[in-house]
Amino acid sequence: MTTTESTPQSGTVTGDAPTPTGPTSKIDYSEKIPNNVNLAGDRKLQRALEGWQPKFIDWWKNLGPSIPTHDVYLRTATAVGRDGWAHFDRVPMEDYRWGIFLAEQDPDRKVNFGDKLGEPAWQEVPGEHRSDLRRLIVVQGDTEPASVEQQRHLGMTAPSLYDMRNLFQVNVEEGRHLWAMVYLLHAYFGKDGREEAEQLLKRNSGDFDSPRILGAFNEETTDWLSFFMFTYFTDRDGKYQLGTLKESGFDPLARTCEFMLKEEAHHMFVGTTGVQRTVQRTAELMKEHGTDDIWQYGGIPLSVIQKYLNFQFSVSMDLFGSETSSNAAAYYTAGLKGRWMETRRKDDHQLHGLTMDVPIIENGRMSTKTVPMLTALNLDLRNEYAADCENGVKRWNQELEDAGLEERLFLPHQGFNRKVGTFAGHHVSPSGEILDDAAWEKNVGDWLPTPDDRAQVAELMVPHYDTGDFAGWIAPPSVGINSMPVEYDYVRF
């Protein structure tokens, strides 16, 4: 794993496994559930988990990865310190040890924004914010198991053992992120919290009667290209949401999200490199055969990759909610949910009197409207996200450039294919033109994957389970996991 992720604000580059910080102590090697929350001494938590853990295992068996395996080379977090953060081993999936980890506590941490700016961060849920915090945690928690459900059959068509292992790593970590949110519900929200924790297992992705809360998490992940796009674009939404919760005045939530962000970086890595390797292979085939129509050579045409990108980017943009939101303002003012990199921002962190321009469509034209900054925080976060998404696109385009090709991938306009917010109800092309129904219908097949595209991609999804063997539509990675060779049996049957 040698990929890099950069964040737009800092420009700093973080490795695929961010350097663990803090002391290496405080490890509780509870056999079953690694944790640093004193599970052994917390009756409340034990009781809650006793009830929940078997249900989680049931859920994992029923809705987790469907392909039977003997063991998988997985990273398990066994502590937050340097020695425990990334512990690699061959693990039978059902024995994976989902743990509970919070980043180290800073005893001097303050509420860094909103009306309570400067007060000591809360170690308990303030009663007045109980419902809001519970809602934020439940919505975040609901997304974690959703993607596992969406991706459960992908193992059947893995392009390699390396990729299958990455899929499972993402899956178990989403499972652990569910644990993290459930921990918060159990530890801080009493009976209500336990009930919500159960509900997290009862809602299922795409279930007509009991769907996941957010739309993008009820979409089917049909194939590996859509999986890579999902981990790149949709998991990145998760990263940005966690980034705002990491700023929360409710310290346990902040610490939980901070640790989750470390793992989330791996998911970004899977997406970035997955698409990059696909593009790399496509570029090779295009160059070799002098055509974009490379279906016949077992590759995925760049135009189809662009359509998948268009789709996943646009549905992920919807996850940020409406551009103007009084809820977002209320969460901010209350100190519950901050901005991306809140503490590095150079303003008063209260935002009274500040404004921001938000996009609107007015009289059939793109325009902007000035609104109070506080109400535009969803857009603020989405803009950070979109800027970050550009980095991956640049990286993918590097493969095309290296191959000497003229074609490039690009992010569609923010108004393209939107179902939420100011652009909902309008047709906007990937280049930002406002279209009428007829023009949209005429061109939509060129912009979003058609059933035919998906069928053709699906045809390429043939499993490759031999050590070191890779499907023809994707290039092998340059290096393996944890300094292991690429040709390693990362998954054993």
Choose one: 42-50, 90-98, 215-223, 385-393; the region binding another protein (CB under 8 A): 42-50
Nearer to another protein, 83 or 192 (CB): 192
Look at the alpha carbons of 279, 263, 5, 341 in this order and tell me if their dihedral is positive or negative.
positive
> Any contact of residue 346 with another protein (CB under 8 A)?
no
Whose CA is closest to 223, among 477, 462, 478, 475? Answer: 462
Count, in order, helices (H) and strands (E) of the chain: 12, 9
> Any contact of residue 43 with another protein (CB under 8 A)?
yes
Choose one: 80-88, 121-129, 199-207, 351-359; the region binding another protein (CB under 8 A): 121-129
Alpha-carbon gap, residue 256 to 100, rounded angstroms: 9
> Any contact of residue 289 with another protein (CB under 8 A)?
no
Nearer to another protein, 252 or 449 (CB): 252
Query: Strand pairing partners for 100?
Result: 35
Nearer to another protein, 337 or 339 (CB): 337
> Any contact of residue 128 with another protein (CB under 8 A)?
yes
Nearer to another protein, 32 or 44 (CB): 44
SS3 helix, strand, coil % of the chain, rounded to 5?
50, 10, 40
Which secondary structure element, helix H or strand E, spans residue 288, and what is its range? helix 251-289
Nearer to another protein, 42 or 469 (CB): 42
**Cβ atoms within 10 Å, residue 143:** 25
Q: Which of 58, 94, 124, 433 binds another protein (CB under 8 A)?
A: 124
Nearer to another protein, 186 or 212 (CB): 186
Classified as helix, coil or strand, 144 is: helix
Q: Which of 23, 38, 44, 54 binds another protein (CB under 8 A)?
A: 44
Encode 290-311: b = buried (16+ Cβ within 10 Å), e = exposed. Answer: eebebbebebbbbebbbbbbbb
Alpha-carbon gap, residue 375 to 117, rounded angstroms: 18
Q: How far is the CB of 118 from another protein (least distance, A)?
A: 19
Nearer to another protein, 47 or 61 (CB): 47
DSSP for 50-101 reads: HHHHHHHHHHHHHHS--S--SEEEEEE---SSTTTSSEEEEE-GGG----B-
Q: How far is the CB of 338 from another protein (least distance, A)?
A: 20
Alpha-carbon gap, residue 348 to 247, rounded angstroms: 15
Amino acid at 416: F
Choose one: 27-35, 128-136, 388-396, 413-421; the region binding another protein (CB under 8 A): 128-136
CB 114 within 8 A of CB 132: no
| Contact residues for 156 (Cβ-Cβ < 8 A; gap 6+) | 66, 67, 463
| Contact code string over 131-170 relative to another protein, x by CB under 8 A | x---------------------------------------
Q: Compute how many residues bind another protein; rule: CB under 8 A.
A: 14
Choose one: 6-14, 129-137, 261-269, 321-329; the region binding another protein (CB under 8 A): 129-137
Q: Which of residues 175-204 bind another protein (CB under 8 A)?
A: 188, 190-191
What are 331's two structure tokens?
């969460």
Q: How far is the CB of 194 from another protein (least distance, A)?
A: 9
> Any contact of residue 130 with another protein (CB under 8 A)?
yes
Nearer to another protein, 42 or 487 (CB): 42
Q: Which of residues 354-413 bind another protein (CB under 8 A)?
A: none
Nearer to another protein, 131 or 343 (CB): 131
Nearer to another protein, 190 or 468 (CB): 190
Q: Please report how the helices 377-402 and 235-245 are oriented relative to each other, as an axis angle in degrees rounded to 10.
A: 140
| Contact code string over 463-492 relative to another protein, x by CB under 8 A | ------------------------------
> Any contact of residue 38 with another protein (CB under 8 A)?
no
Q: Which of 49, 79, 91, 125 binds another protein (CB under 8 A)?
A: 125
Alpha-carbon gap, residue 94 to 414, rounded angstroms: 41
> Any contact of residue 31 with another protein (CB under 8 A)?
no
What are 106's two structure tokens?
């800073």
> Any contact of residue 127 with another protein (CB under 8 A)?
yes
Classified as helix, coil or strand, 453 is: helix
Alpha-carbon gap, residue 102 to 13, rounded angstroms: 23
Contacting residues toward another protein, per CB under 8 A: 43-44, 47, 124-131, 188, 190-191
